[in-house]
Amino acid sequence: MSKRILITGGAGFIGSNLAIGLKEKYPAHDIIAFDNLKRRGSELNISRLLQHQIIFLHGDIRCKEDFEQIGHIDSLIDASAEPSVLKGIGKETEYLINTNLFGTVNCLYFADKHTANFIFLSTSRIYPIKMLNNLEFSEAENRFELVDKQITKGASKKGVDEHFPLDGSRSFYGTTKLAAELLVNEYSELLGLKTVINRCGVIAGPWQMGKIDQGIVALWVAKHFWKQPLSYIGYGGKGKQVRDILHVQDLFNLVDYQLHNMDKINGEIFNIGGGLQTTVSLKELTQHCEEISGNKIKIDKVAETRVADLRIYYSDNEKAKRVMNWEPTFSVKNIVADTFHWIKENHTSLENILK
């Protein structure tokens, strides 16, 4: 049976990749990408979406009336956000709060009106900054590492799981996402909406319009491609901060499963990321980029740590594996290579945005 699936933020990095993946796999479905094109570079995705017979609607999730053009839907994937942790620190909180919180509320209203399944792309940034930075760690030559024995619940060498405490500041980005999560939970428990929340770590891959404050892998690869300088910022400027990275194709596999198994996962929250296997420090990311591009660039060292910086974060994927039999398949090397080839093939159109 054909379905209508709405992806808010559908012209963004994740939204456009999910939209195209779904249309390729389920040609009979109507896939609607709804986006206000706030993110620089999202406009490049419109021709990709149209080539794949995806319906593109220009609209803003902050504006309830903009949803009226959409019509009936069976599922809503919320991938629209101001996704930068640094936004809202100091100033510029208004757009972020209005989109990430009030806009998500509008998405919930709309899903509820159509009794549509609701898949929310949340973030690992809902976990508090100080609590993460207080985890026990050791320092190796190229990276920081979590030690296995941790006092804090929900943390181990395997990463951070869904039991990690929630007390403390987490940035405006993380807070708006957590506040939205709480509302998603209420829609699920009290109004019977079928929902799932994915607390994603760093997602990477082609069509990510990486910039200094969001999209680290694309940024790092692009700067190596165009031979431009970068900086290691914080923690002594040694580039030893660690994250796990997940290919957007692996995220697609997850969302595809969820769309088709909502009864099984209704009301659940998952930490989603590449996990320990795909952890990489900035220094190691530089090595991967040098290898694939053949270029060595100047990298400055800024010792001072910024307020929302994290020394180490990676997801413990155990729950996602146990409940959904889902596992990441791309290695760090493959993710970097895929991103590099995408930039190489599209460098003329990407130059204005990524360079």
Ligand X SMILES: NC(=O)c1ccc[n+]([C@@H]2O[C@H](COP(=O)([O-])OP(=O)(O)OC[C@H]3O[C@@H](n4cnc5c(N)ncnc54)[C@H](O)[C@@H]3O)[C@@H](O)[C@H]2O)c1
Give the binding site for ligand X (CB under 6 A). 8-9, 11-15, 35-39, 42, 60-62, 79-83, 99, 103, 121, 123, 200, 202-203
Widest pairwise Cα distance in the chain = 57
Q: Which is nearer to ligand X, 238 or 332 (CB)?
A: 332
Between 121 and 289, CB nearer to ligand X: 121
In angstroms, what is the minimal distance from the CB of 12 to ligand X? 2
Which residue, 31 or 238, is less far from ligand X as judged by CB?
Answer: 31
Residue nearest to ligand X (CB): 12
> How far is the C-alpha of 73 from the C-alpha of 30, rounded, in Å?
9
Q: How far is the CB of 196 from ligand X (least distance, A)?
A: 14
Distance, in Å, from the CA atom of 12 to the CA atom of 2, rounded to the nearest integer, reads 24
What single-letter amino acid sits at 329?
Answer: T
Identity of the residue, 38 or 64, whose beta carbon is nearer to ligand X in the bound complex: 38
Q: Which is nearer to ligand X, 11 or 193 (CB)?
A: 11
Nearest to 274 by CA among 203, 185, 189, 187: 203
267 vs 186: CA distance, rounded Å? 9
Q: How far is the CB of 41 from ligand X (least distance, A)?
A: 8
For ligand X, the closer of residues 238 and 350 by Cβ is 350
User: In the structure encoding, which two tokens stand for residue 196, read together?
Assistant: 């799932």
Quote the CA–CA distance of 172 and 162 in Å, as a whole number.
Answer: 20
Tokens 């791309």: give the residue.
330
Matching residue, tokens 């952890």? 279
CB of 349 to ligand X, least distance (A): 16
Helix (H) or strand (E) holding 124: none
- In the complex, what is the shortest distance from the CB of residue 195 to ligand X, in angstroms, rounded to a whole number? 15
Q: How far is the CB of 66 from ligand X (least distance, A)?
A: 8
| Smallest gap from residue 121 Cβ to ligand X (A) | 4
Amino acid making up residue 267: G
Q: Which is nearer to ligand X, 75 or 238 (CB)?
A: 75
Pick the closest to residue 70 from 46, 34, 103 (CA basis): 34
**Residue 106 vs 293, nearer CB to ligand X:** 106
Q: If 0-12 CB within 10 Å is exposed, 13-18 middle and 19+ buried, where does residue 192 land? A: exposed
**Least distance (Å) between residue 200 CB and ligand X:** 4
The two structure tokens encoding residue 129: 């900054």
CA distances from 176 to 6, 106, 161 (A): 22, 14, 20
Residues whose CB falls within 8 Å of the CB of residue 280, separated by 6 or more in sequence, listed in order: 242, 243, 244, 245, 288, 332
